[in-house]
Structure formats: structure tokens, C-alpha cells
Amino acid sequence: MIIEMPSTTTNDVNKRLVKLRDEGGAVALGRVLTLVIDVGDHGVEAAIEAANFASREHPCRVIVIAPNNDRESNELDAQIRIGGDAGASEVIVLHPSGELRGHGDTLVIPLLLPDAPIVAWWPYEPPANPAADPIGRMAQRRITDSTECSQSLQTLQRLSTVYSPGDTDLAWTRITLWRGLLAAALDQPPYESVTRAVVAGNSTHPSVDLIAAWLAQELRCPVEIERQPDAPAITLVSLERKSGPIVLDRPDGKTAALRQPDQPEHRIALPIRQLSECLAEELRRLDADEVYADVLTKGLARL
């Protein structure tokens, strides 16, 4: 069910939520967190769809801020989604206009769940410093997605200079499976050190740089990046050792081949991860990701 509330206030939105809870059982109790999404000038549907999927694992209240840039009067339009339109959450969409566009934190505060952690997510362009942003200051975790930025690699570099504990990026989450497979391969005999690594992938995809930075930081070896303009994200990682290379090759973005010396080739399903899957993974933890911190602030500088 979708309820439109034009020219309203956050107080009225709160009252309507209480009324819905009393009348129809749209309960905020049992929610584990509040997810605040700032979509900027972009549409809301893709972010809401991902949040609804993630809410089935992490029941939450979702607050979406989508400024109305076509109207200059100081007004607030709101929308409440519950039931089938909100997954296992309740979704509140705020469309501030005029001077209200610069006061997202003030609009959000009355709608936060009491005593519940706050996670901020910027699905598109992030602020210059997420931890210093008014919404970011309220949050225990701050999720950006440099993959969706107009200048992905430049954004990644900028985020590395302003990192604060609690920051993360979905470009990092997208390489979780790659990191797991490579770490498992290195944990097998003959336990040799890696002398050189090669990463190949899309020329502007930040996950390519992040996995290269992770290898450089953890293995302390030279890492070469082969940028391919039309590649589907990461296509290959090769780790050279004395006994022969470990190669994880995914040319089609769907199935990977793992090749190691003196072993048969292993075929592994490794599709490009979807946004909803990555968001659900990031909502599983509210503490700082220390490995990501080291890769972002130290590993990138090693490339």
C-alpha cells in the first residue's frame, strides 16, 4: 500500500505511521535499524527495491530523501509504503523543496526509530566527506557506491582521503567472493609467496582498483592493472608464484575458471553481484571494517 501525503510535515507523517500501526498492524517494533537513503537528483525506485530485498534479512525502517528541485517553495511532500510495497520494512519517501532541501537531517530525526542503529546510504553521488555530512554524522555505518558515480575512480581516491571508521563502499562488497576464492587458494600447499599479481577488468570500475589494492596491501607484492574498456567488471586475477600461477578467470561476468599448478581446472559460478545482495551484506555489520580501511587508506597508495 502506498499513501501519498502532499504538503505535509514530519509530525503528520509520524502520526500517520502510528495510526497505520494501530489499525492495520504495520509495526515498527522489532526493526533492527533505520536505513536513511539520500538519492540526490536520481530516482528512488532502484534504491527502494534494493532496500526492500535487504529488509527481509534486516527488518528496518527505510527513510528515502529525494529533493524536489522543480519547486522553490518550502514544502514537504511525503509518501508512506507498507505491506507488499515495502518488503519487511516500512518505507518513508520525503520530497523536500526550497530551503528544506538543505535540512535533510532535521527532516529525518523525528522519523528515526528509538534506540536503533542508523545506517546512511548514498546510492549515487556521495558527499565530499560522508562522516562530516549532516546525515552521516548521525549514522554508525555510512555506505557509498563509487561504482554509480560519474567519476568512479576519482571518487574512490577522494573517499580514501576522508575515511572514518564506519565508512564502506559497495564497490568493496562486490569483490567479497573474489577475495574468498583467492584467499582459499593461497591457503593450500605449497604456501609460496606471491611475487607478482595481475588484475584485469573494466577500465573505470572501482572494484578493479580495490581488489588490486587489497592484493598489494596483503601480499606486499607488485600489482599490475590491465584496464579493458568494455569488460564486465573484474575479468581476471593472476597470482604468480615459483611453482606456477594461480589464475581466477571470469571473461563473461558469469562463470569463473580457477587454475592452479598440478590441479584440474575448477569451474565456479561467479556472477556479478546485484545491488540488493551487496546492500544486505553490508547491513550485517555495524562495526568498522578494518580490512576495507587498510585497503582504502594504504592499499590504493601502493598501486
pLDDT tens for 51-88 read: 999 999 999 999 999 999 999 999 999 999 988 777 76
pLDDT of 276: 96
pLDDT of 252: 94
pLDDT of 166: 98
3 state SS of 72: coil
Amino acid at 142: R
Average pLDDT (221-231) is 96
pLDDT of 25: 56
Q: Which residue has the higher pLDDT, 22 or 151?
A: 151
- Tell me if 216 sits within 8 A of 196, measured CB to CB: no
Average pLDDT (114-124) is 96
Region class of 60: left (phi > 0), else alpha (psi between -120 and 50), else beta: beta
User: How high is the mean pLDDT of the chain?
Assistant: 94
Q: Binning pLDDT at 50, 70 and 90, where does residue 209 land?
A: very high
Q: Which residue has the higher pLDDT, 290 or 86?
A: 290
d(CA 93, CA 77) in angstroms, rounded, equals: 8
pLDDT of 28: 46
Average pLDDT (90-111) is 95
Name the strand (E) or helix (H) holding 167.
strand 167-169
Nearest Cα to 194, choosing from 243, 239, 258? 239
Q: Binning pLDDT at 50, 70 and 90, where does residue 18 land?
A: confident
Q: What is the pTM of this model?
A: 0.94
All cell numbers assigned to 205: 570500475
d(CA 152, CA 149) in angstroms, rounded, equals: 5
Phi, then psi, of 254 in degrees rounded to 5: -130, -55
Burial of 6 (0-12, 13-18, 19+ CB in 10 A): exposed
**What's the pLDDT tens digit per position in 260-275?**
999 999 999 999 999 9
